[in-house]
């Protein structure tokens, strides 16, 4: 196990220089491809059928070379997530392969200089062993060699950074494509928000009709019976029952009002408001809120609704014994994780969770629900800090 860890550490250190060296080799392959493609396309200008075939082969092999470069960048240079090549964008892919010749040449020069440095270091070491150098001269040679080695390593790192930057710049969609994609995203989010608002209105209407309205009708009947009875004890009992029903109706009305607009956020932050919600929850709730700066009101409101929906589902459907709510900031995002130990099986496509997902997406956030059958259930919401 220790040997595997040491091997992993060495490979982690060698990935970047190996990736730059591989990039030099793939740049040479790309140069050959570009030369052959240019000759083929120029020669087929007089024969349209041959030109179409040459264009098809150019597109095919350009896409293949771009896939190879993406694997090299993500696997060896740890470039992270790279933009996917745009469909039918042969010009952009060929342009990227042409631009890749620059880091390929620079990488070749860096390794050539490194090779010359190794040869010179061997000469100096041989001279020092033979006694042809004084200790002072040997120390000066070592200092100069160390500085040149550091510069060479920095050059290799810079070549890798240039390689990654070219891929991010040239493989992604252009500004017009990005604008079109953003318009489609906003259109979809707008439609989703409208659907979510309509679903929430229907839910509030059902709560008012099936809960509060029925309770008020029953309250009116109780008060009518209390007015008609001539028995003082019976009248007092009916009035006491009516008073209890009024208190329950007020609680239900407060719950409905909070679903429409969490007014408590006007005077308290998200952690304090969720603590009030937790005190009314049927399931024990643990809350940890670590926000260095209070988020925007819209962000707090969406997170409030996500937490309330998750707590309601845990109490009504999951048979959970404890729910944990963790709120913090990570990588520029406000992150809320609601975890319960219930039976799981929550459907992310259900009306409640899908409506929350649309609310979160409207603020350029994302909502992920993990709820295998048997549990546990985790709801993760991430929203931009700004």
Which string of DSSP letters, residue by residue, matches 300-318?
HHHHHHHHHHHHHHHHHTS
Q: What is the pLDDT along the chain (386 residues), one digit of tens a residue?
A: 455 455 556 666 778 888 889 889 999 998 998 888 888 777 766 666 666 777 778 888 888 888 888 888 887 766 665 655 544 467 788 888 899 999 999 999 999 988 888 888 888 888 888 877 788 887 888 888 888 888 888 988 899 889 888 888 887 655 565 566 656 666 665 666 556 566 666 666 666 666 667 777 777 887 787 778 777 787 788 778 877 777 777 766 666 655 556 777 777 888 888 888 888 888 899 999 888 888 888 888 888 888 888 888 888 888 888 999 999 988 788 999 999 998 888 888 777 787 788 878 878 888 999 988 888 999 999 988 76
> Which residue pairs from 180-186 have beta carbons closer than 8 angstroms and sit at least 24 positions apart in sequence?
none
Q: Which two tokens stand for residue 151?
A: 């510069």
pLDDT at res. 108: 92
* CA–CA separation, 15 and 24 (whole Å): 14
Q: Which two tokens stand for residue 15?
A: 């990935």
| Cα angle value 321/323/284 (rounded, 5°) | 60
* CA–CA separation, 192 and 354 (whole Å): 9
Give the pairing of strands 323-330 and 285-289.
Answer: parallel
pLDDT at res. 28: 92
Q: DSSP for 143-160, please give it.
A: HHHHHHHHHHHHHHHHHH
* CA–CA separation, 13 and 184 (whole Å): 42
Secondary structure of residue 1 in the 3-state scheme:
coil
**pTM of the predicted model as reported, rounded to 2 decimal places:** 0.47
Contact 337, 380 (CB under 8 A): yes
* CA–CA separation, 323 and 306 (whole Å): 14
pLDDT at res. 84: 55
Cis peptide, bond prior to residue 376, ω within 30 of zero: yes
* CA–CA separation, 27 and 103 (whole Å): 8
CA 249 to the chain's CA centroid = 42
Contact 248, 254 (CB under 8 A): no
Beta partners for residue 368, in sequence order? 380
* CA–CA separation, 367 and 307 (whole Å): 12
pLDDT at res. 298: 83
Contact 287, 325 (CB under 8 A): yes
pLDDT at res. 339: 93
* CA–CA separation, 158 and 156 (whole Å): 5
């Amino acid at each position: 196990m220790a040997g595997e860890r040491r091997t992993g550490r060495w490979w982690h250190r060698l990935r970047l220089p190996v990736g730059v060296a591989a990039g030099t080799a793939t740049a040479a392959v790309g140069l050959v491809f570009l030369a052959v493609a240019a000759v083929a396309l120029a020669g087929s200008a007089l024969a349209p059928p041959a030109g179409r075939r040459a264009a098809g082969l150019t597109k095919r092999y350009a896409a293949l070379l771009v896939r190879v470069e993406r694997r090299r960048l993500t696997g060896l240079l740890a470039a992270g997530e790279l933009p996917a090549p745009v469909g039918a964008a042969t010009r952009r892919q060929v342009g990227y392969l042409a631009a890749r010749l620059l880091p390929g040449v620079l990488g070749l020069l860096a390794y050539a200089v490194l090779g010359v440095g190794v040869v010179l270091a061997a000469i100096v070491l041989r001279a020092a062993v033979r006694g042809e150098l004084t200790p002072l001269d040997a120390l000066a040679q070592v200092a100069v060699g160390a500085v040149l080695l550091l510069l060479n390593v920095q050059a290799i790192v810079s070549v890798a950074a240039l390689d990654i930057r070219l891929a991010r710049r040239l493989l992604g969609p252009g500004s017009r494509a990005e604008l079109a994609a953003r318009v489609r995203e906003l259109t979809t989010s707008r439609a989703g928000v409208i659907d979510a608002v309509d679903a929430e209105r229907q839910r509030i209407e059902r709560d008012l009709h099936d809960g509060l309205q029925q309770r008020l009708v029953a309250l009116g009947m109780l008060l009518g019976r209390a007015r008609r009875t001539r028995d003082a004890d019976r009248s007092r009992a009916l009035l006491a029952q009516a008073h209890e029903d009024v208190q329950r109706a007020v609680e239900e009305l407060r719950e409905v009002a909070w679903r429409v607009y969490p007014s408590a956020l006007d005077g308290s932050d998200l952690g304090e408001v969720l603590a009030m919600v937790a005190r009314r929850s049927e399931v024990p709730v643990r809350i940890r809120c670590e926000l260095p700066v209070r988020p925007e009101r819209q962000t707090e409101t969406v997170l409030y609704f996500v937490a309330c929906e998750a707590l309601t589902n845990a109490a009504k459907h999951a048979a959970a014994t404890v729910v944990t709510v963790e709120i913090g900031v990570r990588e520029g995002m406000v992150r809320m994780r609601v975890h319960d130990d219930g039976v799981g099986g929550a459907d992310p496509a259900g009306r409640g969770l899908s409506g929350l997902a649309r609310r979160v997406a409207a603020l350029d956030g994302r909502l992920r629900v993990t709820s295998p059958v048997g549990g546990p259930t985790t709801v993760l919401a991430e929203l931009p800090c700004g």
